[in-house]
Amino acid sequence: MAQRTILRSYARRDLDNPAEALPNSILFAHTGTTLTIYDAYPKSTFHFLVLPRLKAVATSQDGDKKEKEKEIVDAMGLGLKEGDLKSLKRLLRKGKEKARKILEPMQEAAQACVKEIEEEMIRMYGFKWDIWIGFHPVPSMEHLHLHIISADLCSTALKNKKHYNSFHPKHGFFLDLSEVLEWLDAEQTFFEMKAQLNPAEYEPFLKEDLVCFKCHKLFKNIPKLKEHLQEEFDALIKREKAKQERLAKQKRKREEKERNEREGSASTATSVAASTPKDAEDIEAVPEKKRKG
């Protein structure tokens, strides 16, 4: 299967049909209208894609033909064809309202995925860090897809400047989903200007210098930058670990203090009742001493 069109082939699958089901190594989750899959070449510790689903619908019941004529349309039933979902640019051409109806379910699927990533971050690392959600204005693969990627860019599949700059959150190539949704609320002229997604405007961002997205330090080449990104990530893990330890220590101290206060107030009470196991032992010990003596 051609790599460039593989996402479309996933989007066309009828997942209720066992013969067309996607393996767990590819499919992470799905709804009636969206698929969430693992990015085959993750550029960060966590990297997923959300795609709108497609479905085949019969367009004619021509008796002369053995097979019904079929057309591939979006699963939302908005009257959008497969080609209208080829890219964000193609979708935006269909106008604000149709774009919103496709993008909002994708946003919901992304939010559900973010929740699961955060749980996994806590299980694996003991803390969670940022997750970016957005599009590439000039995509490398066909069929609209939303990237959900953890903010570390530490991955062996990140191999060149284009990979890195396409996810750098501030260079301008990576389009936050929230920004794209804002265009849909903007004036029509502004929307139309943004919706052009002109490659000549965006592609130069991919050629910009290699700058750390955290500390803005400049790097001569990808191996040097990658080494630094790993150091940034290791430092984050170390800081978070120290923070967790500090919090745990504070919690222990607080609990100890509360326990001492409880015990302190119990021992100053004039009540003869044995309020703690220790007191109970002392009382029981008395008759035994008497027996001995």
Nearer to Zn ion, 40 or 212 (CB): 212
Residue in 36, 31, 34, 78 with CA at minimum distance from that of residue 57 = 78
Tell me the closest approach of the beta carbon of residue 213 to Zn ion, in angstroms: 8
Tell me the closest approach of the beta carbon of residue 216 to Zn ion, in angstroms: 7
Nearer to Zn ion, 114 or 148 (CB): 148
Cα–chain center distance at 166: 17
Burial environment of residue 106 by CB neighbours within 10 A (0 to 12, 13 to 18, 19 or more):
buried
Nearer to Zn ion, 137 or 139 (CB): 139
Interior/surface letters 83-95, b for 16+ CB within 10 angstroms, e for the rest: ebbbbbbbbbebe
Tell me the closest approach of the beta carbon of residue 263 to Zn ion, in angstroms: 50
Cα–chain center distance at 151: 9
Tell me the closest approach of the beta carbon of residue 139 to Zn ion, in angstroms: 5
Residue in 106, 113, 142, 138 with CA at minimum distance from that of residue 7 = 142
Cα–chain center distance at 162: 21
- Report the distance separating Cα 252 and Cα 250, nearest Å: 5
Nearer to Zn ion, 234 or 256 (CB): 234
Nearer to Zn ion, 117 or 175 (CB): 175
Tell me the closest approach of the beta carbon of residue 140 to Zn ion, in angstroms: 6
- Helices and strands per DSSP (H, E), number in the chain: 9, 10
Query: Which residues of this protein are in contact with Zn ion, per CB under 5 A?
Result: 136, 139, 212, 214-215, 217, 232
